[in-house]
Amino acid sequence: MNKSDITSMPEYFDRYINLAEDGQVLDILNKYGSSWLEQYRDIFTQLGDKVYAPGKWTVNDIIQHLIDTERVFIYRALAFAREDGTVQPGFDEDNYAVSARASTRSLDDLFEEFAAVRASSITFYKSLSNEMLLRDGIAFRMKISVLAIGFLIAGHGIHHINIIKERYCPLLV
Q: What are phi and psi of 88, to 5 degrees?
A: -85, 130
C-alpha of 65 from chain center: 8
Q: Is residue 50 part of a domain?
A: yes
Given a contact cutoff of 8 angstroms between Cβ atoms, the answer to whether 161 and 168 are in contact is no
CATH of the domain at 47: 1.20.120.450
- Which residues span the domain enclosing 127? 7-172
DSSP secondary structure code for residue 87 in this structure: P
Residue 132's pLDDT is what?
A: 98
Q: How many domains is the chain built from?
A: 1
Q: Whole-model pTM?
A: 0.97
Q: Is residue 2 part of a domain?
A: no
Q: What is the pLDDT along the chain (173 residues), one digit of tens a residue?
A: 999 999 988 889 999 999 999 999 999 999 999 999 999 999 999 999 999 999 999 999 999 999 999 999 999 999 999 999 999 999 999 999 999 999 999 999 999 999 999 999 999 999 999 999 999 999 988 999 999 999 999 999 999 999 999 999 999 98
Q: Is residue 158 part of a domain?
A: yes
Q: Is residue 31 part of a domain?
A: yes
Q: Is residue 102 part of a domain?
A: yes
* Helical segments of 13-90, H only: 14-17, 25-31, 34-38, 41-47, 59-81
Q: Is residue 1 part of a domain?
A: no
Q: Is residue 142 part of a domain?
A: yes
Q: Is residue 148 part of a domain?
A: yes
Q: Give the separation between CA 80 and CA 91, rounded to whole angstroms.
A: 17
